[in-house]
Amino acid sequence: MTDSTAPRSATPPAPRRGFGAVLRALAPWVLVVVGGLWMLSNHRGREPMPAGEPVPALSVPLAGGGSFDLAAQSGKPVLLTFWASWCPACRAEAPAMQAAHERLEAAGGTAIGLAVDRRSIPAAERLGMRFPQAVVSQEDLDRFGVELLPTTVLVDGEGRVAASFVGEVRPSTLHEALGELLD
């Protein structure tokens, strides 16, 4: 039997400081860095759809009622923005998307927000995106080549891609692309 009144050591055991412990501590960070570099190398500057290509069919129910059919927009310029409320870059570019919608609307066109989940729809108004919103399916994302958010596609009046962007588009870049589309 052991004596329960015997003093116990007050110092905790020393942590293991071997090479294995260092590797276990660094492994998650190495994976994050490698994954980030892979994503940048594979997606930076990538266009989901090349300019001049015809856009696929798109028909979606609008969050506020009614529906949006891209084919019915023939002769009108359209901005498609694929986004989500949990995407920081999507939230950051919301004011530029609203400005683009206003410019398109003045020229007889429109913008449509294509959220990847239903939870994003209520956030559109809070972010200042006061243009039609819809929830898009995975099938639609695949047809438009959307792999990263945000993705923006400008469609000309003939139903062809005028420009497309992956990631947060700079307001000046979007303004320039709209100028080329509308002039």
pLDDT digits (tens, 9 = 90+) for 105-137: 999 999 999 999 999 999 999 999 999 999 999
Average pLDDT, integer, range 47-68? 92
Give the model's confidence band at 43: pLDDT under 50 very low, under 70 low, under 90 confident, else very high.
very low
Specify the pLDDT at position 18. Answer: 75
Give the model's confidence band at 157: pLDDT under 50 very low, under 70 low, under 90 confident, else very high.
very high
Of the candidates 154, 109, 107, 113, which has an alpha carbon nearest to the alpha carbon of residue 132?
A: 113
Cα–Cα distance, 67 to 51 (Å, whole number) = 26
Specify the pLDDT at position 94. Answer: 97
Of the candidates 22, 133, 151, 148, which has an alpha carbon nearest to the alpha carbon of residue 81?
A: 151
Give the model's confidence band at 9: pLDDT under 50 very low, under 70 low, under 90 confident, else very high.
low
Cα–Cα distance, 130 to 111 (Å, whole number) = 10
Specify the pLDDT at position 44. Answer: 47
The residue extents of the domains of the chain are 16-45, 59-182
Q: Residue 108: left (phi > 0), alpha (psi -120 to 50), or beta?
A: left
Mean pLDDT of the chain: 87
CATH topology of domain 59-182: Glutaredoxin (3.40.30)
pLDDT digits (tens, 9 = 90+) for 61-111: 999 999 999 999 999 999 999 999 999 999 999 999 999 999 999 999 999
pLDDT digits (tens, 9 = 90+) for 25-34: 776 776 665 5
